Amino acid sequence: MENINWAELPFGYFKADYNVRAYFKNGRWSELEASTDENITMHIAATCLHYGQQAFEGLKAYRGKDGKIRMFRLEENAKRMTHSANGIKMQPVPENLFMDACIKAVKMNEKFVPPYGTGASLYLRPLLIGTGGQVGVKPADEYTFLVFVSPVGPYFKTGFKPVKIQLVRDFDRAAPLGTGTYKVGGNYAASLQASVRSQEEGFASVLFLDAKEKKYIDEAGPANFFVIKDGEYVTPKSHSILRSITNMSLRELAADMGLNVVERSIAVEELANFDEAGACGTAAVITPIGEIFDREKKISYKFGQEGVAGKVSTELYNRLLGIQLGELEDKFGWTTIVE
C-alpha cells in the first residue's frame, strides 16, 4: 500500500481494496460477497436509473486511543436505511445483513482505517439500488446492496471552525410530504443548484427554508441545523428533514449536560436571538456557524466571537468525538468495536 498522508486527506473517494455486496432476487437476499471491482453492471431499465429507487447511508469507523476500531451507531444507520427503503418502495436490507456487511467491509479494509490522532477516519457508504428492469413506473423486483469505504479527512477544510452559510428562498430541498425524511439521492440532487451557487458566492454551505411557507429553518444543505441560547439546544422540527443520527446523539448529549432540548419550528427572524448555531451530520460531526447571510433580504445573522466556536458547541463536539475515539466512556452504548 502506498504511503498515505493521513493528516492531509480530503473528504473524498479514495480506493480501498474491497467492497461488500449482496443481491435480492427471486424473493430472497443472497449471502455477502467481497469484490475488488469498483464498477456495477446492471440492466439498462434498472429502476435506480429511471425512477430514483436509490437510498444510501454514511457512517464512520475510528481508530481509537487504545488502538481499537469503533463504528458509531451502526444500528441506527441500519434502521434509517430500512426507513428510506420503505419510503420509496424498495426491498429493505435486513438489519443484521446491513451490520454484517459494514463490519466485514471495515475488517477487509482495516489497513485503510487512519491512525489515531490524525483527524481522519474511515467513511462507509452503504448503498441500496433497484437493479431490476422496469419500463412502467413501479418498484423493481431485484435489488443490489453494497458497502464501500474510503479514508477521509474533515468535510470542511476549515475543520472545527465557524463558517459562513447562505440562506436561500428560491430553491427547495424537499416538499413537506415528499422524500425529505429519507436518505435518497433525489434530495441531494434537488439541493445542488443552491449549494453550488452558494459556494461560488463564497459560502461554505446553504440553509434551506420550509418549502410550504418559506418562514422556518429546514436543513443546512447536507446536514441538520441547531441553535443554542440560555441553556437550550433547539433544532427544527419538520416533516421534510432527514433523521440525522448525529443530531439525535447531540440531543442526548445536550440533555446529559443539563441543557433543555427543544424540537420546534424556528422562524428566520429568531436567528437574531441565539448565541450559537451549527450544522451537524456524519461527515462534519459539528460545523460551527459564525454567520448566516439571507441572500434575498441581505441580512446577516452573526453568532459569537468571530472565528471562535461557541462554548456549548465545542463541549458537544468534544464529547461526541471523545466517545467515537474511545477517549471518553461510551455510557450510551453507541459504539461497535470491530474485533
Average pLDDT over the chain reads: 95
Residues with Cβ within 8 Å of residue 221, at least 6 apart in sequence: 165, 191, 195, 198, 205, 206, 207, 208, 279
Closest listed residue to residue 310, CA positions, set 291, 293, 329, 330: 291
Average pLDDT for 266-293: 95
Query: Cell 466517545 sits at which residue?
Result: 323
Beta carbons of 297 and 170 less than 8 angstroms apart: no
Residue 14 C-alpha cell reads as 479514495
**Which of the four pLDDT bands, split at 50, 70 and 90, describes residue 222?**
confident
Q: What is the pLDDT of residues 175-207, one digit of tens each?
A: 989 999 999 999 999 999 999 999 999 999 999
The whole-model pTM stands at 0.95
Kindly report, residue by residue over 128-161, the tens digit of the pLDDT. 999 999 999 999 999 999 999 999 998 877 778 9
Question: Which of 57-93 are b and which e, b meaning 16 or more Cβ less than 10 Å from the residue's Cβ?
Answer: bebbbbbbeeeebbbbbbebbbebbbebbebbebbbb
CB 108 within 8 A of CB 18: yes
Per-residue pLDDT, 1: 53
The region, left, alpha or beta by phi > 0 then psi within -120 to 50, assigned to residue 52 is: left
* Cell numbers that stand for 70 in this block: 469503533
Q: Which residue of the set 25, 157, 183, 298 is catalytic? A: 183
Task: For residues 181 and 80, give the distance between their C-alpha atoms in angstroms, rounded to a whole number.
Answer: 10
Query: Span 300-311, mean pLDDT?
Result: 93
Specify whether the CB–CB gap between 160 and 20 falls below 8 A. no
The answer to whether residue 183 is catalytic is yes
Return the pLDDT at 159: 75
Beta bridge partners of 149: 124
Q: What is the pLDDT of residue 306?
A: 86
Point out the least confidently predicted range of 7-11, 89-93, 261-265, 315-319. Answer: 7-11
Encode 35-50: b = buried (16+ Cβ within 10 Å), e = exposed: eeeeeeebeeebbbbe
Q: What is the pLDDT of residue 160?
A: 86
